[in-house]
Amino acid sequence: MCLSPADGCDWEWYLIPLQNKGKHMDNLLNKYGTLSDGIRTVSPRESLEVINRGGLFVDLRGKNFTDFKIPDIPDIFLMPHRLLSEEYSKLPADRALIVADSTGLKSKEAVRFLQEKGFDQVAHMAGGFVEWERDGLPVREDINERLTGACACQLKPRDRMK
C-alpha cells in the first residue's frame, strides 16, 4: 500500500495515517446531516465529528491543493477526483466515508458513484474544504506549497522557502 509519496507510488493518492483502522462504522452516518435524492450531506462540523468517531475523510482535491493545505485530522485519504473511477476499490467499504473537494461540487458526484459501487456509508461534505476552513476547523498548511494565480487555470507556486 502507498502510505506516502516517498513510497514511489504510480498514483497521486495516498493514505495519511489510518489511526482508527478496522473500526466498524455500522450506520454511523445515519445520525448526521440530511438525506436528499439518496445522497447524505453533512456539514464540515458534522464531518469532523464523524471522523473523530472513526470515519475516514476522502479528499478529492488534486495534489497541487493538498500539498498546500489539508484538514489536520487523524485519518485522511487523498485521492484526486480524476482517479476515483480507477482507484475507488482502495477505499475501505467498512468505514463511514466523508467525501470532500474544494467547494462541494465534485464530491456529490463522487458519492453517487461510490454508492453505485456498493458503498453504503458515504456522505458528501457541503461546501468542501472552503467551508471547512471558513468554519475554523483544523488545517495543516505547508507554506512552501502555496499557489497564486488569478484563477485555477493560472495557479503557480509562490513564496517558496528554501
Q: Which of 116, 137, 114 is nearest to 127 (CA)?
A: 137
What are the extents of the domains in the chain?
5-157
48-72: per-residue pLDDT in tens? Answer: 999 999 999 999 988 776 667 888 8
pTM (two decimals): 0.74
120-150: per-residue pLDDT in tens? Answer: 999 999 999 989 999 999 888 766 655 565 5
Position 154 pLDDT exceeds 70: no
Class of 5-157 per CATH?
alpha beta
52-66, 69-83, 96-110, 141-155: range with highest mean pLDDT: 96-110
